[in-house]
Amino acid sequence: MMNHPEPTHEHDPGPLDADVLIVGAGVTGIHQLYLAREAGFSVRLLEAGDGVGGTWYWNRYPGCRFDSESYTYAYLFSKELFDEWEWREQFAEQPETERYLNHVVDRFDLRRHMRFDARVTSATFDEPTATWTVVTDDGTKSRSRYLIAATGVLSVPFYPDVPGRADFRGQSMHTGRWPAAPVDLTAKRVAVIGTGSSGVQIAPVIVDEVASLTVYQRSANWCTPLNNAPITSDEQKQLRVGFEAMSEVLNTSTAGFLHPANDRSAFDDTEEERQAFFETMWRSPGFSKLSSNYADVLFDDGANAEWCEFITRKIRGIVQDPGTADKLIPKDHGFGEKRPPFVTGYYEMFNDPKVSLVDLKQTPIERITERGIETADGVQEFDVIVWATGFDFGTGALLRMGVRGRDGLALVDHWAEGPTTFLGVQTTGFPNFFFPGGPHAAAGNNPRYNGDQVEFITRALASLRDDGFDTIEVGPEAEESWTAMVDRGAGQSPFGEASYFFGTNIPGKPRKYLLNSGGRPKLFKEIAKVEANDYQAFRRTRTSDGGNRGQR
Ligand code: N01
C-alpha cells in the first residue's frame, strides 16, 4: 500500500481517499481496478450506471453481442477465471457478457471498491499536492493521487439534430441507452434509424415480434456474416487445454485476434482461386474477413473492389427485390472505409413483407412528428423509434467530465483540435491522469489493447512508488511523436476513412484519427522502450513532501 502523504505546506486539502481513483466499471476499468489493487495500491472506482459492465451495461438492446470471439475478448489474467467461465457461443450476447463481468467483479471481490450512480462532473488537479479531486453529480468529493479515466470510447450516445425529435409521442430509444426494463415490441410499428453495427444487429432480432419494421438507411454498409455458433463441449475442453498457447497468440498478435494473417495478395491467385477464397472468407467468423483476408484488401483498390463485388453478388443473391438489394449495396465507399458490421439474417430480413428500407440519400428525414417520421415521401407513423445513430467516439466521455490539469488547463481546450496523447494513456499538462481504452488506444479486439495499457500504467505507478516519486507527466516530445505517428498512419490506408473513427459524425468535432493507427506492434515497441529507458518519456517528480521535486 502506498503511504498517504502528509502535506507539510499550508495548502492542506486533507487525506486522500485512495491512491488510485478509477472512473468507469467497464472492461478496462474493472481490469485496472484489479491490477492496481493487486499491485498494493488503495483503489476506488466511480461508475455512472447502477451496475457493472460499461458498454455491456448500457447497450442492452435486443441482439447486442460480441463480434470478437468471446474467449478472445475475455480477461486472460487468471487461468482459474478462464477455466470456470464457459462462454455459450462463439460470439456472446450482451446478457452473458454482463453476467461475466459481474462474475469477475464478485470473484475477485472488487465490488466493495466501487460506487455506482456516481457520474463525475469535475476532476481537478491540485498542483501543490499533485493530487486529483473528483466531484460526482451528488456533490461527493474524492481525492486521489492518480486518476484513471476508463470511460470508454462508445459511452456518449449521439442523437442527430433532427427537427421535432422531442415531439414524438411514441417510445423512442437509443441503442446505447436501452432501458433495463424489458421493452415490449410485440405488434408495434418500429423504425430503426441508422445502419451501423448496432442498427444491423437489432433489426433482424426484433423482426419476428414487430408488426412492421422500417429501416432508415443513410449509408449502406458492407455487412458480412458473423457466422456465430454454440461452443461445443469438445471445443470448451480444447479451449481450456490450449489456454497458454491461445493467450500467447492473443497477447502478441497485431489486432488481438486469433485469426491468422494472410500473406497472399488478391492477384497472386487466379480468378477462380480468388472467388473460392472469398467464399471461405464469407463463411469465416467475425473479423477474419479483415484479419485473414488478402493482405492487400485494404491497400489495393483493385483487391478491395473484387471483394466488394463478391459481397455485392451475395447481397443480390439473398435480397429478392432488386430495388431493395441495390439500395443495400454501398456505392460511396469500399470495404473497411467504415467499420464493417457482422450480421446474422440482416439481408434475409428484407425478404419479409413487413420490412421496408428507406434510403435517406433519396428521401432525407425532414422532421420527426408526434406520430412518426416525415420524409419527402410523407409521414410514416410508428409506435417506436430506435435511434441506432452512433456515439461521440473516442473523446466524448473524457471531454464531458470537466477535467482540469496543471494551471487550470481544461482538457476540452487542450484537445480543441483533437486528442494528443502518448501511447493513448497520457497527455501533457495533466500529471497523474491516465485514460486507457480512450483515444489512440485500440484498433482491433479492444480488451487486448486496453489490457496492454492498464498493465503498463500499473507498472508505471509501481515504479514511481519504488523510485520514490509520486508524480508522472508525459513530456511534449513523446506526445508529439506518438500523435504524429497516429496521424501519419491514419493516412496510409483507407481504413475507417468514411467513419466515426475520425470523429466526423459529430457536428463541429475536429477531423482527427481516434484509434491507434500503429496497432499493437507500435504500442509494444514504445512500451518496451519507455521501460528500458527508465520512463524518460515522462517527467517523474516528488511532490508530496512539500514540493521537493526530485526530477529525473
Ligand atoms: O454507430 P455507427 P453504431 N440520419 O456510428 C447513421 C461498436 N458496436 O452504434 O453512416 C440518419 O457505426 C449513420 O449513417 P452514416 C462498433 O465498434 C459493436 O452502429 O453516418 N442516419 C450510421 O448508419 C461500432 O462501429 C457491435 O451515413 C444517421 C449509424 O447512424 C460502434 O459500436 C455492435 C444520422 C451510426 O452508426 C458504433 O456502432 C454494435 C442521421 N442524421 C456496436 N446520423 C458488435 O458487434 C447518423 N446516422 C460488437
pLDDT along the chain (552 residues), means of 10: 42 83 98 98 98 98 98 97 97 98 98 98 97 97 98 97 97 97 96 98 98 98 98 97 96 92 97 98 97 96 98 98 98 96 98 98 97 97 98 98 98 98 98 97 93 98 97 98 96 88 96 94 96 97 59 34
Secondary structure of 464-528 as H, E, C letters: HHHHCCCEEEECHHHHHHHHHHHHHHHCCCCCCCCCHHHCCCCCCCCCCCCCCCCHHHHHHHHHH
**How far, in Å, is the centroid of ligand 1 from the Cα of 199?**
7
Residues 137 and 162 occupy one common structural domain: no
Residues 413 and 493 occupy one common structural domain: yes
Residues 304 and 350 occupy one common structural domain: no
Q: Which residues line ligand 1 (CB under 6 A)?
A: 66-67, 154, 160, 175, 193-199, 201, 216, 218-219, 339, 360, 365, 388-391, 500, 505
Ligand 1 atom 9: residue of nearest CA: 390
Residues 297 and 435 occupy one common structural domain: no
Distance (Å, rounded) from C-alpha 412 to C-alpha 405? Answer: 11
Residue among 161, 218, 449, 450 whose CB has most ligand 1 atoms within 8 A, to mutate: 218
Q: Is residue 131 part of a domain?
A: yes
**How far, in Å, is the centroid of ligand 1 from the Cα of 136?**
30
**How far, in Å, is the centroid of ligand 1 from the Cα of 333?**
15
Structure confidence at residue 550 (pLDDT): 34
Residue among 155, 195, 197 whose CB has most ligand 1 atoms within 8 A, to mutate: 197
Residues 425 and 509 occupy one common structural domain: yes
Residues 134 and 193 occupy one common structural domain: no
Distance (Å, rounded) from C-alpha 351 to C-alpha 362? Answer: 21
**How far, in Å, is the centroid of ligand 1 from the Cα of 154?**
10
**How far, in Å, is the centroid of ligand 1 from the Cα of 152?**
16
Structure confidence at residue 492 (pLDDT): 87
Hey, what long-range contacts does 428-431 have (CB within 8 A, 24 or more apart)?
428/473, 428/474, 428/475, 428/476, 428/479, 429/405, 429/473, 430/125, 430/403, 430/405, 430/406, 430/473, 431/125, 431/130, 431/405, 431/406, 431/471, 431/472, 431/473, 431/539
Ligand 1 atom 16: residue of nearest CA: 197
365-395 b/e (C-beta count within 10 Å ≥ 16 → b): bbebbebbbbbeeeebebbbbbbbbbbbbbb
Q: Is residue 233 part of a domain?
A: no
Please give the grid coordinates belonging to residue 383: 409506435
Distance (Å, rounded) from C-alpha 76 to C-alpha 83? Answer: 10
Structure confidence at residue 13 (pLDDT): 66
Q: What is the DSSP letter of 112?
A: G
Residue among 505, 506, 509, 514 whose CB has most ligand 1 atoms within 8 A, to mutate: 505
Residues 403 and 490 occupy one common structural domain: yes
Q: Is residue 243 part of a domain?
A: no
Please give the grid coordinates belonging to residue 480: 508529439
Q: Is residue 188 part of a domain?
A: yes
**How far, in Å, is the centroid of ligand 1 from the Cα of 327?**
17
Please give the grid coordinates belonging to residue 269: 491467385
Residue among 161, 389, 449 whose CB has most ligand 1 atoms within 8 A, to mutate: 389
**How far, in Å, is the centroid of ligand 1 from the Cα of 177?**
14
Q: Is residue 83 part of a domain?
A: no
**How far, in Å, is the centroid of ligand 1 from the Cα of 387?**
9
Q: Residue 386: in which H helix or E strand, if any?
A: strand 384-387
Angle 29-34-39 from CA coordinates, rounded to 5°: 125
Give the ligand 1 atom nearest the CA of 197: 19
Residues 415 and 346 occupy one common structural domain: no
Distance (Å, rounded) from C-alpha 399 to C-alpha 122? Answer: 10
Please give the grid coordinates belonging to residue 62: 435486443
In the chain, what is the straight-line distance between the N-terminal and C-terminal CA atoms, in Å? 24
Q: Is residue 420 part of a domain?
A: yes
Distance (Å, rounded) from C-alpha 300 to C-alpha 89? Answer: 35
Residue among 165, 198, 200 whose CB has most ligand 1 atoms within 8 A, to mutate: 198
Range of the domain at 161: 157-221+341-390
The residue assigned the cell 447502477 is 50
Query: Which CATH number goes with the domain that contains 523?
Result: 3.50.50.60
**How far, in Å, is the centroid of ligand 1 from the Cα of 481?**
31
Residues 376 and 467 occupy one common structural domain: no
Judge contact between 95 and 87, C-beta under 8 A: no
Structure confidence at residue 228 (pLDDT): 98
Which residue, among 206, 166, 165, 174, has the nearest Cα to 188 in the 3D structure? Answer: 206
Distance (Å, rounded) from C-alpha 445 to C-alpha 292? Answer: 14
Beta bridge partners of 46: 23, 115
Ligand 1 atom 6: residue of nearest CA: 194
Angle 124-127-131 from CA coordinates, rounded to 5°: 60
CB atoms within 10 A of CB 17: 17
Q: Is residue 9 part of a domain?
A: no
Q: Compute φ and ψ for 228, nearest 5 degrees.
A: -75, 160
Residues 543 and 399 occupy one common structural domain: yes
Distance (Å, rounded) from C-alpha 365 to C-alpha 378? Answer: 10
Judge contact between 200 and 341, C-beta under 8 A: yes
**How far, in Å, is the centroid of ligand 1 from the Cα of 549?**
48
Residues 152 and 171 occupy one common structural domain: no
Give the ligand 1 atom nearest the CA of 389: 30
Q: Is residue 122 part of a domain?
A: yes
Using alpha carbons, list the distances in angstroms from residue 305 to 193, 292, 333, 347, 451.
Answer: 28, 17, 10, 20, 35
Distance (Å, rounded) from C-alpha 58 to C-alpha 49? Answer: 8
Please give the grid coordinates belonging to residue 519: 496497432
Please give the grid coordinates belonging to residue 413: 481546450
Residues 474 and 508 occupy one common structural domain: yes
Please give the grid coordinates belonging to residue 191: 423504425
What contacts 36, CB < 8 A, 6 or more positions away?
19, 20, 22, 43, 148, 458, 461
What contacts 318, CB < 8 A, 6 or more positions away?
325, 347, 348, 351
Give the ligand 1 atom nearest the CA of 176: 9
Q: Do strands 355-359 and 212-217 pair parallel, antiparallel, or not at all (unpaired)? A: parallel
The residue assigned the cell 464531458 is 400
What is the number of domains present in the chain?
3
Which residue, among 533, 416, 395, has the nearest Cα to 475 in the 3D structure? Answer: 533
- Half-sphere CA count of 226, side-chain side, radius 13 A: 27
